[in-house]
Structure formats: C-alpha cells, structure tokens
Structure 1
Amino acid sequence: MSRLTDILFGQPPSEISGLWSGDGADALTYRTWAQIQDAARRAATGLAAAGVGPGSSVTILAGDAADVAVLVQATWLRGAAFTMLHQPTPRTDLAKWLADTRAVVRMLDASVVALGAPFTDVVRELDLGAPSVVVEELTANATPAEPVLTVGDDLCILQLTSGTTGVPKAVAISGGNIMQNQIAMADAAGFRSGDVVVSWLPLYHDMGMIGMLLTPMLARATTVITNPLAFLKNPLSWAELIGRFGGHVTAAPNFAYSVLARRLRRAPDGAYDLSSLRVAVNGAEVVDRATLDEFITEATRFGLRPEALMPAYGMAETTLAVTFTRMRERFAVDVVDGARAERTGAVVRDGIEKPRTLVRLGPPVPGIELRVVDERGAVLPADRIGTILVRGAAVTERYLGPDGYVDAKDADGWLDTGDLGYLTGAGEAVVTGRKKDVIIVAGRNIAPTVVERAASGIAGVRPGSIAALGIRLPSMAREGIAVIAESESAGDTDECERIRREVARAVHDEVGIAPAVVVVVQKGALPKTPSGKLRRSSAASLIPS
C-alpha cells in the first residue's frame, strides 16, 4: 500500500478536526474527517459500480469543498486519479466552456464526470463526453469500500494547467509527488495537526486544491473553505473567517492582499482579529513589494504579525511548493539596477541607474533543487537572470496532452519552469517574469509586470486588470510596448483619452520607453485563465489593427 493510501485509509480518521465549507461566511457546515471518509468509502462503492478502478480517471465538477473532499478520497480508494474541471461562472461563454470541457474529458479518457451542487441539475443532462454520477447518489450506498492496493508511482491527480483552454494539458501528479510536497510544506510552513487553514481559493487551482484542501486533510488539520465568489462579493469575509476560527494558515495571489488591504483601511479598529495568523502565503502570480507593504500597514492594526506574510514560489509541476520565505522572518527585497538587468541580465545593487525592487521568495523547500541557466543551458552563477529549472521528488514526471503523455524533465531530471529569475548569493529565488511574456525593445528585456505596475497607478484604471505585451504593427519599424487597461470609464471618450495620455507618461517615466499603443477596454474584457491569470498573448486581439 502506498504511503498516501496508508495515511488516509490505513489508520482511524480524525474525529476532532475536519472541514468547514459553504458558499460564504454565513453559510458554513462542518464535517469531521471521519465523516468525510465514511461518505467517501460509500461513494467509492458507487464509483466501482460505474466502472472506476485502478488507473481510471475521474473528473469532478462540484462547488462545495466537502463534496470535493468526498469525491477525491473516493477516487483514491479506487486507485484512480481525479481532475477538477474548470467551473463556469456567470460571465462564461457556456458553448465554449462545454466544448473545452468535452475536450478535457476526452483527453483524460475519463470514466465518469462526478457532479455536485450547484452544477448537478444544470449539467447532468449535458453530454460532457463521459457518464455523469452525482455525489449524493454515490454516498447513498450502504456498503463502504476498502482501498485497493496502490504504490507511490500511481497517478493521483491530473491537474489542468492554468492556461488550459481549447488545447488541454494536465500535469500528472503521483502519490509519491504528493507525499514529498507534504513533507516540504510541513517543514517550510511549520504545518501541524492542530492548525486551522482558511481559504476561498478555487479548488480547480493547485494552490487551492493541494495547499488548502489536501495538505490539511493529510495533516489532520482543520480547514475552512468558501468559494471565490464569496471573497469577490465581500473581501472582508476572508478576514472575518480568520478571526472567527483562529486561522493559522492562509494563502492567496498578490492581487487579493491588495484588495483586502484597501477594505481594511476603511474598517474600524477591533473589527477583525488577524493575530492568530502564522503563515499568509503570497504566491501564484508576481509578488509586488508595494502590495506587501500596503497589506502589512493595514493588517497590523488588526493584530497581524508582519513576519506572517510569506512570499512564495510554486507551481502544479512541483505538486505546489518550490520556495518559501523562511518562517518567523520578515520578507526581504532586492533593489537592483533595472536598466542593466534588462540589457545584460546582471543583477547589480550598487551604482544604480534605474532602481527596481524585487521580492525575494525564499530558499527551496526540502526536496527541491533550483538552478538558473542561460539560453544554451549553461548554469549561471548567483545574481544572473536566466531560465529557472527545478528538480526533486515532488516534481512531475510527465504531462498529459491530446496526443498522450510526454516527458516533463530532461535526462538529468530537470524541469524547465518557463520562468525567468535568479538566485541570490544566499540561495533565495527571485522571479522576474515569464519567458514567453518578455517584451524585447531596443535590446532590452522588459518584464510586462513592470509596465503594468506603472499603469496601475493611474486614476480610472482597474488595478490587476492591465496587460502589457510586445507589439509590432505594420507602421512600426521595430517592436514596441502595448498596454491594455480595463476601466469603468471605457465608454467616455474624454476620460479614455486622459487615461491613455497618463498611462503613456507613467510607463515612459518607469521604463524610459513610451508605449506604442494604449488601449482602454471595458471591465472584464481582458482574457484570463480559469484561475484568474492574465492571458497576455490572447489580449493582443483587443488592439485595433
């Protein structure tokens, strides 16, 4: 029996910790892990009847974290792997979602699509490419199932990548990968059984699923999980839940801390209690020093210890964790010469021509190795920007795509992350951007996040809803910078002209190059992945030809 199966099913589940879940802070229900496992054993009997067995694939479309936890455990009891399908939102093009979902189900060769509220009634009659089963009906089985024999190399998760749309791709995660990540998370974040985790992150994203559900489930900790819509409707519900449950661990992308900071600024003293937080991970997108400072300024008024804020680096390919800021230490930054970094890739901290502040993301977690290489694959020394490679027992062996499995690593076990960055002399990672997103102008490698950050300070521009990309129009002699910004004033001609002017000036002041094009679009126009990341290459379609 694999270590993962033994930890979950080879010993009595916890009767004193469990899962709080629901649509919002005022609609939570509680189940112990023992209750979750009892329901999972009965659901596994139903999955067996539906043809799910060792090596099978189960896709899950459910909104409540308790239903998801039951279906995950039931899938593992059958020796199968699960995939969380991307969930439609009120703004989703349902015809496109249906076509994309069918493509994913077909690629996975899924035995079933397991449904839970609020999707059951709407989706169960649709042809998603595999038979549908419903969690309530699965758990109605009277006979509990016993776990099938598994080994550490057996697949447990086929995690859709954040960019998955019409051409699906999944990271193949084994039980051994999960257990190595569990060891790393326990060490890097001090994770223990008595902890309380609080989250609103989507469970179809690796930070939400692995970090906020599976990690506490395996550690027999308690986790409180609402859905992203609850946070978007009322960002302060995040702080309210941390105080109500005495949350020790939470996590979110950078933008969420900025949103919460602005709401806390207007909250009265004593309205929230963040003093219990030991770890607040900031990851999944570029970490901005200004956001960290802003959040600390506002949240310390409600008891937050500044050292709790933990910038980190992770990805589905490493089963989540790559680097974490050291516990009980306040995050650190590098102030470097941005101009020389763009021209030569060298990190220079003295005689700075154009200062740029970058957040250090900490050293590698246990079991992970990092190296930085140049375009020829030669290993670079500290303080040289290049492509980040990772290696370790938590790193996936392969991807699954429409044409089958492909290796994820090179012959020496290194995986190319697609990220650019460097290692400091102390071995801490700094990520400077995505290789595919770099804007090359006049021999300079400009990170789009630098441009986007400059534009975000302009009145009328929606923070977090700006895309910068390289562009070369027929009238241009060389590549230039395009900025696309969402605004509530997109229909106001005069306001749009002001925004374009001020964005152009702010970008020029920051990088020394004025954008060739500034486009103002309506709220929600920028294309994003299902997990909320900008799809910069797709945003090019919003630029008038």
Structure 2
Amino acid sequence: MLLDAGTVAEALVERARREPAAVAFYLPDEPEPDRRITVADLLARAHAAGAALVAAGVTPGARVCLCLETSAPLLAGLFGAALAGAVPSVLEPPLTAGRREIWLERVRHIVAVARPAVLVCEEPLRATVEAALEGTDVTVISPPFAPGAVAEPVLSAPPDEAAFMQFTSGTTGAAKGIVLSHRAVFASAAAIGAGGPFLADDVMVSWLPLHHDMGMIGGTLSPFLLSLPSVLIRPMAFGSKPDRWLRLIHEYRGTLSPAPNFAYRLVTAVARRTDLSGLDLSCWRTAFNGAEVVDAATLHDFIDLTARYGFRPEHLRPCYGMAEVGLAATFSPAGTAPRVELLSRSAITEGRAEPSASDEDAHPYVSCGVPVPGIKIRVVDDTGLDVGDGRVGRILVAAESMMTGYIENPEAGPVLDLRDGWLDTGDLGFQLGGELFVTGRHKDLVILAGRNYQPQSFELAAEKVAGVRPGGAAAVGVPDPASGTERLVMVVETVHHRDPGLSAATADEVGAVVARRTGVRPARVVMVPPRTLPKTSSGKLQRSRVAARVAAGTIG
C-alpha cells in the first residue's frame, strides 16, 4: 500500500517512525555493514549525506547530480537530497578507463543542462571531474559522508514542484532531463503497485542501473514508497555473470524483478550451459519485460528454460513504458501467459494488423498489455485521429504521472508539448481487444540493450574516416533474434566500393572510429557505392528504409 506522504523525504521519515527495523534495501555485493539497510539506518545515512550536501551549498530546490555506482552511498545521497529539499538525478559512472573521456563529455553535457549545485562522485574520480567542470559553479564532493543531520529537513512541498530528474539514456548530445514532480513520483508508484499488483510480502530484486527509469522508479523508489524491500546489485555484476540474477531471486525469495528483453535472452543462453541444480524460481511471481520491443522467441525460450525451476508462464509480463510518465504505461494482465499474435509483417508495414497468408510473411507480435491505473493510451494517424482496432499508428499517452517537462535548454527551462493532455511517444503500434502491441518507433532512435541512441552521433563519427562520403553514413538498429535485442548496423557510402580490399579496410576503420567516439561498436558495417542511401527530395536520410533493406538483405 502506498505511503500516505507527499514527498520522498516525508515517506522516509514516516516509515522510520512506523517500522524502523524493516529492511529497506539489501545490497549483497557491498561490504558489511552495508549489505542490509533498515529504514532507520537509511534515515540516519540520508541525514549524513543531506548535511554534506547542505554544507556544500545545496539549498531547497537546488539540483544535485549523483554519479555513483549502486551502493549505500548512492542511496544515502538520493534520500539525503530529498531531505534537503533538493532535486536529485543519477548519472552513471564510467564503466572502464577507456570510456572515461566519453563519460566526461556526458557529464559536461548534463551539468550544462541540469546546472546542479553539487555533483557527488567517488574520490578516485574527483580530481578528473573537477578539472572537467572548471569554470562552472558546481561543487564536487565524495563519500563517505561524515555523521550529521539536516537541520531543517524539507518534508512537504507543493505537489507540482520538481522532485526528481531522470536523464534519458541517449548518447552525449541527446540526453534530455525529464522532470518529475512529487505528484508524478507518487502517481507512478501507485500505478505500478496497483497494476502489478504488488503485495505486502513482495520482495523486489534488481540489477538495473539507477540512472535508468526501470532501475530507479521500478526497482528502487516504487518498492520503497510501497513499503517493500529491494535487493539491489550493480549492473556489471549481472553483465559478468547473468545467472546471478536468477540465484539472487532464489536466495532472497524475490517475487518481483523487471528487465529489458535482451536480459531474458542473455540469461537464457548462459543458463543453458550453467549448472543451476537446486534453483527454485517458484517464488518469482512477476517478471516484467520492457524497455525495448519484446521478442516472442525470447519469451518462449525463457519460459522453456525456467519451467524446470518452478517458474510459470503467466508470471512473465511484457510491458511498455517511458521515463516521461515515470515508468509504466501498460502491463500484460496478471495471471495470463504472454499474448502473442501471428500477423502479416507486410500488412503491418502498410498499417494493418491482420493474419498472414504465408509462413514467410508471418511474424509473432507480442502484446504489452493494458494501461495501468492512471494511464490512458491512444493510437492515432498523422492527423491525430484515432485509427481504431487493428490499425497501426502513433502511440499517445496521457497520465497522472506525466512529467513536468524536459530540460534541454538551460535558458528556456522546462518545456512540455502536450496536445490536449496527450504526449506523442514517438512509437508505433496497434491495439487489439484493448491490448497494446508496439511495432517500432516513429523516431529514428536506435535501441541497444534497452538504451536509446541518436543515430547522428554514429553517422558523424563514421564520416570522419577517409573514403566515406560526407552525408553518406546511416546508423540503424536491426532486430537480432539471436540476442533478443537490436544490433547497430552502419551503412556507409564509400569511394572505395570498387576495391574490395580497401573497402574492407575502410569498414574496419569505421567500426573502430565509431567505437572510439561513441563507446558503441557497430555489429556490422556495410559498404555501398555513392548515392545508394535513400533520401527525401530535400536530402533528408530515410533511415527506416535503410533499416528495412538491411533486414531484407537487399543492400550492400
């Protein structure tokens, strides 16, 4: 049941008064005494972090960037900022030394957008961050936080006042700050709790990063506001040993655990060659699958693998959402196996959801379910008119948990462009019998393992390579059944197309330069002759046509 509070700070104080000994978070990978944090302990740690933020210059309404791994200090900083009345956001730390410069570019961009008073990072990164932010008014501090207390904790605030900022997972220049009000944070938690439904004895298990909405809102804040414990580990712990996810659910008797589609594919592949004897997943009641287009083969393979360990098909729940509404928009109905409809791929591209006349044209489309409480969904054509059941169109959402706006231009402030209260998600889909099916994106975003990337950054990097024509690079995401996610494919026009050896060398160089400049290596680089890429009459690249030709094997 959602706490009767108006702010996260008030919820923390109320829980500490009511159930101080209840476990708020388990952190299995942390050293003692950080592995088990009670609500009372969390309040004390939040006071210490909040006092450090105030001493560094944070005032009510100021913004704070927390650049820390999933850890006790990150949780202390998050709740400490709330006690100080500040607006926190989480920024991922660099995963490797080789990615540090890319990470610093993102830090500079987010600082320019968010204009925080304080940035918190680990001590080994502090000097580097301070040098990168020289000339700004940002104070950089590091944990551990000395014992202390926020003298005047801010426990109440107007419902529409900013409570939290979530940055999108795009590349450096594309990251947008999404502002959620206190009302939106609580409305999102209420929607998730009711749509689950989340029960009084539930336990959340999550390895998702807290700079992502599924990790922060879904795995961390919502369970806390619903008085449930969360088991949190770092994303790299999952990446290096995916079966650890399943073992944690077994060990802590986890009942709730969400992940993107690629994670279910990855853990299935690893589990098939790993000894999982003794594993019991019968406790896992809700396994949300979202953050990217859900793949029917992934659902089938995961269910087939985990059935022997007690997992039931109806507990795998495809879903759909976005940071702009806090997190959740639709959940597949509880108690039913995932709904998959075998439809005509060609008809879908023409805007119709109908059965296929041939096996070659048939494609399984997965339902993402029905709107959670407080959310409304429409599918419309380009003029804004509803298209009706079984017709593909643009997905619009209206929500009680709607964001206040984006912060992209520090001078302009938050901006939210709604049409009669409806937000265009940029996604395409259709409805059948009240359930939503997502087919792709109207926008040109490339989604890799649940992260959104603007294609322009990849294309600009490719054009730096000698032999690549200016304006002659296209970056597209192409579904990869083997991994359950998309793969980045670069289609590049080159003057070397008649020389196979030189063309291959150019392709290798494109892959290396794109990886170095963006942190993402293309799965494939296709070299094509000049003037191959389809463009509009005004010269605009038609990436959707490029992606379709790559998928069909008719280019390169």
Q: Output the TM-score relative to the length of structure 1.
A: 0.80
> Does structure 1 retain, via aligned residues, the 8 Å contact 2:169–2:175?
no
CA positional deviation for 1:125: 6.6
Q: Which of 50, 63, 79 lines up with 2:69 in the alignment?
A: 63
Q: How does 1:229-378 map to 2 (within 5 A)?
A: 229-268=236-275, 270-342=277-349, 344-349=350-355, 351=357, 354-378=361-385
| Paired letter, 1:369 | K
**Counterpart for residue 52 of structure 2:** 46
1:31 paired with 2:52, answer: no
With over 3 angstroms needed to count, the CA separation of the structure-2 counterparts of 1:26 and 1:228, relative to structure 1, is: farther
Q: Matches of 1:26 and 1:305 in 2, distance apart? A: 35
Which residue of 1 is the match for residue 213 of structure 2?
206
- SS of 1:6's partner is helix
Q: Give the counterpart letter for 1:415 in structure 2.
A: L
Residues 466 and 156 of structure 1: CA distance in aligned 2, closer, same or farther (over 3 Å) = same
> Is 1:82 matched with 2:88?
yes
Q: Does structure 1 retain, via aligned residues, the 8 Å contact 2:352–2:391? A: yes
Match of 1:511 in 2: none
Match of 1:418, SS?
strand
Corresponding residue of 2:417 = 409
* Residue 17 (structure 1) aligns with: 23
CA 1:463/1:288 → structure 2, altered by over 3 Å: closer, same or farther?
A: closer
**In structure 1, what is the Cα distance between the partners aligned to 2:219 and 2:429?**
27
Matches within 5 A, 1:170-185: 170-185=177-192
Match of residue 132 from structure 1: 140
Residue deviations 1:52-93, cap 9 Å, x none?
122110000111332222111111112221111132111653
Identity of aligned residues (%): 31
AA paired with 1:108? A
Q: What do residues 401-445 of structure 1 show as CA deviations (whole Å, max 9, x unaligned)?
A: 134334323241111111111111x21111111112399xxxxxx
Q: Please tell me whether the aligned partners of residues 17 and 220 of structure 1 are also in contact (alpha carbons under 8 angstroms).
A: no
- What is the CA-CA distance between 1:266 and the residue it aligns to? 2.5
Task: Kindly indicate whether the alpha-carbon contact (under 8 Å) linking 1:388 and 1:417 is maintained by their aligned counterparts in 2.
Answer: yes
Task: Tell me if structure 2 keeps the 8 A contact 1:372–1:421.
Answer: yes
AA aligned to 1:20 is Y
1:95 aligns with 2:122: no
The partner residue of 1:418 within 420, 423, 426 is: 426
Q: Which amino acid aligns with 1:110?
A: P
CA distance, structure 2, for counterparts of residue 142 and residue 234 of structure 1: 39
Over 3 Å counting, the alpha-carbon distance change for 1:19 and 1:406 in structure 2 is: closer
Any unmatched runs of 5+ in structure 1? 440-447, 477-492, 498-517
**Contact 2:113 2:177 survives alignment (8 Å):** no
How big is the shift at 1:48?
2.0
Aligned equivalents of 1:72 and 1:151: distance in 2?
20
How many positions carry a matched residue from both structures?
487
Deviations 1:83-122 (A, max 9, x none): 1113211165323322331221122110100234775576
Alignment counterpart, residue 395 of structure 2, candidates 381, 385, 388: 388
The answer (yes or no) to whether the contact 2:257–2:288 under 8 Å persists in 1 is yes
Query: Secondary structure of the residue that 1:423 maps to in structure 2?
Result: strand
What SS class does the counterpart of residue 173 from structure 1 fall into?
strand
Corresponding position of 2:487: 466
Kindly provide the amino acid, as one letter, of the partner of residue 479 in structure 2. E
Find the residue that maps to 1:220 and give its secondary structure: coil
Cα distance in 1, alignment partners of residues 108 and 276 from structure 2 = 50
Alpha-carbon distance in 2 for matches of 1:221, 1:214? 10
Q: CA deviation at 1:249?
A: 0.6
1:433-473 superposed Cα distances (whole Å, 9 cap, x missing partner): 1112399xxxxxxxx77x533xx55xxxx774623578888
Distance 2:169 2:222 in 1: 20
Change (3 A) 1:74 1:237: same
Provide closer, same or farther for how the CA distance between residues 112 and 250 of structure 1 changes in structure 2, counting only shifts above 3 A: same
Q: How many Å separate the matches in 2 of 1:178 and 1:151?
A: 13
- C-alpha distance 243-359 of structure 1, shift in aligned 2 (>3 A): same
SS at match of 2:109: helix
The residue that corresponds to 1:500 in the other structure is: none
Any idea what the Cα deviations from partners look like across 1:336-364, whole Å, max 9, x if unmatched? 1111221x201112645711111000000
The C-alpha deviation readout for 1:12-51, integer Å capped at 9, x for no partner, is 2541222112548999711112201111123222222222
The CA distance in 2 between the partners of 1:383 and 1:526, in whole Å, is: 40
Q: Is the 8 A contact 1:168 1:402 kept in 2?
A: no
Partners of 2:392 and 2:271 in 1: CA distance: 37
Provide the C-alpha distance between the structure 2 equivalents of 1:252 and 1:397, rounded to a whole number of angstroms: 26
Call closer, same or farther: CA 1:164–1:522 in 2, change over 3 Å: closer
Cα distance change of structure 1 residues 20 and 524 upon mapping to structure 2, 3 Å threshold:
farther
Q: Which one-letter code corresponds to 2:205 in the other structure? A: V
Between the aligned partners of 2:125 and 2:233, the Cα distance in structure 1 is 16
Alpha-carbon separation, structure 1, partners of 2:485 and 2:262: 6
Residues 233-269 of structure 1: per-residue CA shift (max 9 Å, x gap) = 1111111111110011111111111111112222346
Instruction: In structure 1, give the amino acid aligned to 2:85.
Output: G
8 A contact 2:21–2:40 mirrored in 1: yes
Larger CA deviation: 144-153 vs 380-389? 144-153
For residue 266 of structure 2, give the secondary structure of its aligned residue in structure 1: helix
Q: Which is worse superposed, 39-48 or 380-389?
A: 39-48
Distance in 2 of aligned mates of 1:26 and 1:258? 33
How far apart, CA to CA, are the structure 2 residues paired with 1:329 and 1:368?
21
Once the two structures are overlaid, the 10-residue window that deviates more, 207-216 or 77-86, is 77-86
